[in-house]
């Protein structure tokens, strides 16, 4: 019906789209004629005495979707891998390496951690010894032995497994300029140190282990990947103490400083 209506409107009336003769009685120099085909398209053909025909096509009632060029996908972060971590550390990009380390822990901890986007402390056991040692080795190699999980574990043990002492030792807390000795947590990420400097605290990086609290950190430190190395270091320390004639049961000076006795830790950073 739509095609028939158009034909009855255009062909008998001979409407002129271009009229060079100036007279309505003369034959029009250009006519618009309608043609149809088996498809759902309508074609209009313009006939002229002096020029070839020009065809325009309008598609109606088409069920085919209009092609849309997809928008460019936003740049996604690279897939975390041991190789990527090694390249970032070799380039001295400790800030990005810390992000990659966190992503690696999530990736290696299993499907639940990947869906959730972070690691439960109970999932650390699912990370293989080889993978944790590989991460730790890269951090140590590219920091002259200053950074890494095994370095942090050694400092934690020297702090008698006291996390507040440990946080102060590795520089995750800063001393306040007050008359009374006080410390506060550094603001993440701006107040942390992302460069290798002479005064960068030993064990300052990586930070990812502290983002979910001390249980995650403690489970990393007690992972089988670091047990043997820790036992060797402990045996060497005991030999050193014995050689110096000191008793293993000497607890002098091991009490917490007064400023730490009432300190309420906050491990949210």
pLDDT of residue 230 exceeding 50, the answer is: yes
> Is residue 77 one of the residues assigned to a domain?
no
pLDDT for the residue numbered 209: 59
> What are the Cα distances from residue 39, in Å, to 35, 108, 198, 253?
11, 56, 78, 94
The verdict on residue 31 lying in a domain is no
Residues 139, 90: Cα–Cα separation, whole Å:
9
**Average pLDDT, integer, range 254-266:** 51
Tokens representing 116?
A: 């959730």
What is the rounded CA–CA span in Å between residue 249 and residue 157? 16
Q: How many CA atoms does the CB half-sphere of 42 hold within 13 Å?
A: 14
- Which CATH number goes with the domain that contains 194? 1.10.10.1770
Residue 140 lies in a domain: yes
Asked if 210 and 269 count as a contact pair (C-beta separation under 8 A), the reply is yes
Q: For 44-97, what is each residue's pLDDT tens digit?
A: 455 555 545 444 444 445 455 444 444 444 567 788 999 999 999 999 999 999
- What is the rounded CA–CA span in Å between residue 31 and residue 9? 12
- According to the model, what pLDDT value does residue 13 have? 45
Q: What pLDDT score was predicted for residue 5?
A: 46
Find out whether 129 and 225 touch, Cβ atoms under 8 Å: yes
pLDDT of 233: 63
Query: How many domains are there within the chain?
Result: 1
| Tally of residues, the chain | 269
Q: What is the pLDDT of residues 107-126, one digit of tens each?
A: 999 999 999 999 999 999 99
Q: Which domain holds residue 207?
A: 82-241+257-261
Band (pLDDT 50/70/90 cuts) for residue 104 is very high
Average pLDDT over residues 7-14: 44
33 - beta bridge partners?
A: 45
Determine what percent of the chain is predicted with pLDDT higher than 70.
55
pTM of the model: 0.61
User: Which pLDDT value is given to residue 76?
Assistant: 73
Asked if the structure places residue 170 within a domain, the reply is yes
63 within a domain of the structure (yes/no): no
Q: Which residues touch 168 (CB under 8 Å, ≥6 apart)?
A: 183
**Residue 82 CA to its chain's centroid (Å):** 15
CA distance 267 to 167: 10
Classify residue 53: in a domain, yes or no: no
- CA 208/CA 132 separation, integer angstroms: 13
Q: Is residue 20 part of a domain?
A: no
Contact partners, residue 119, CB within 8 Å, separation at least 6: 105, 106, 109, 113, 212, 216
The band of 155, judged by pLDDT with boundaries at 50, 70 and 90, is very high
Residue 254 has pLDDT above 50, yes or no: yes
Nearest to 174 by CA among 158, 188, 161, 185: 185
The yes-or-no verdict on residue 248 having pLDDT over 70 is no
pLDDT at 11: 44
What does the pLDDT average to over 217-233? 83
Q: Is residue 159 part of a domain?
A: yes
């Amino acid at each position: 019906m739509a095609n028939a209506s158009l034909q009855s409107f255009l062909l008998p009336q001979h409407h002129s789209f271009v009229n060079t003769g100036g007279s309505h009685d003369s034959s029009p120099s250009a006519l618009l004629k309608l043609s149809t085909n088996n498809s759902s398209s309508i074609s209009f053909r313009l006939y002229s005495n002096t020029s070839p025909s020009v065809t325009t096509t309008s598609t109606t009632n088409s069920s085919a979707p209009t092609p849309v060029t997809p928008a460019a996908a936003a740049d996604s972060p690279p897939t975390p891998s041991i190789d990527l971590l090694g390249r970032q550390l070799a380039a001295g990009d400790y800030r990005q390496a810390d992000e990659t380390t966190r992503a690696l822990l999530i990736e290696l901890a299993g499907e639940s951690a990947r869906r959730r986007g972070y690691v439960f402390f109970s999932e650390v056991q699912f990370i293989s010894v080889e993978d944790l040692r590989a991460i730790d080795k890269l951090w140590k190699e590219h920091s002259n032995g200053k950074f890494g999980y095994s370095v942090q574990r050694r400092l934690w043990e020297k702090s008698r497994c006291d996390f507040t002492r440990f946080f102060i030792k590795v520089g995750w807390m800063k001393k306040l300029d007050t008359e009374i000795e006080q410390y506060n947590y550094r603001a993440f990420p701006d107040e942390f140190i992302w460069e290798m400097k002479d005064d960068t605290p030993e064990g300052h990086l990586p930070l990812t282990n502290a983002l979910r609290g001390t249980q995650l950190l403690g489970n990393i430190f007690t992972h089988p990947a670091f047990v043997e190395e820790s036992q060797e270091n402990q045996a060497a320390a005991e030999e050193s103490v014995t050689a110096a004639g000191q008793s293993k049961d000497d607890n002098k000076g091991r009490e917490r400083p007064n400023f730490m006795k009432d300190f309420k830790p906050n491990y949210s950073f």
